[in-house]
Homo-oligomer: A and B are copies of this chain.
Amino acid sequence: MMAGNPLAGSGHIAAIDLGGTKILAAIFSPDGVVVSRAKKMTRAERGPEAVVNRMAATVREAALDAGIDPAELKGIGVGAPGPIDVQAGVVRVAPNLGWEQFPLTEQLRERLGLPVFLGNDVSVAVRAEHQVGAGRGTRTMVGIWPGTGVGGGIVVDGVLYSGMAGLAGEIGHMTIKAGGRKCGCGGRGHLEALCSRTAIVKDIARQVKRGAKTELTKIAGDDVGAATSGDLAKARERGDKVVIKALDRAAAYLALGVAGVANLLNPELVVLGGGVVEALGDPFVDYVTELVRKQPLHAATGDLRIAKSELGDDAGISGAALLVRQGTD
């Protein structure tokens, strides 16, 4: 279907993956290859304008590292957290950043004098997985991205499905356990409240409070609520039972989410990505897959494939680059 690399195109472009903690930038060459990277802390507490300055600086650093004048870039793609008003180039709300109705496209364009293409971080990552990752060649695919939250994206007939207002894919806010754990958004028993990193470390923190002993306190310190997905992976490798049980619970809920979405959408493929999946790797994906297979799959059937993200941490910048190469549609 696709001739050549969708990341290739005329000129060099920049891609930014804007996270609550880090800003990643990369320069893609005309043949679609990453030729340089740069990284800075986000420092969201300094306010949105300061973050935009840091984003611009990260792009300049990556461009200079690639030996390119930033003014020569053809455009900048940005994957940002939160629901995005794609037409207006506005981040509607990003709790991680403390942003509301922030005109990121305009602000970044002013700093760098270049066209800016904005999308939701997970949507662009799922789009990248579909075009140049695990989902190549599929017509119908769902991406589920457990990390700080749980994002998602849906590919229908080969195109990222955006819904009425470009907001589709909020799979983390589907109720999986009515009356269950409170979600950051105020809902209860949402997928995000059950299998995000935030949910997993809260689960472990509750066990610790009840007196459970876990390696995680040695790895991440006494505030296990601040543990990263990497910390969880380390504790698991040390055979820590408290962490392993919490991960198994999260996997079980994630499997219910995968099965439910598969019954609703009958996709060829479900791709699992995001911070939790990257850190925990194949054993986690294999376990989730095993649990999905035990669920009654009506619309899914045995043909359903479940795969780990191929692009890993590069899914975000690859998707942001695709925004520039293909526009935001």
Contact = CB atoms under 8 A, between A and B. Distances in A.
A164 B267 contact: yes
Contacts of A169: 264, 266, 299
Contacts of A44: none
A186 interface: yes
A217 interface: no
Given A165-B266, A303-B164, A298 B173 contact: yes
Contacts of A167: 266, 298-301
Contacts of A303: 164-165
Contacts of A265: 154, 161, 163, 168
A243 B293 CA distance: 37
A209 B140 CA distance: 47
A284 interface: no
Given A156-B161, A163-B267, A266-B164, A296 B175 contact: no
A179 interface: yes
A9 interface: no
Given A173-B298, A178-B256, 5 more contacts: A167-B299, A171-B264, A176-B176, A178-B180, A183-B296
14 contacts: A154-B265, A156-B157, A156-B161, A163-B265, A163-B299, A167-B299, A167-B301, A168-B264, A168-B265, A173-B263, A175-B176, A178-B189, A178-B253, A178-B256
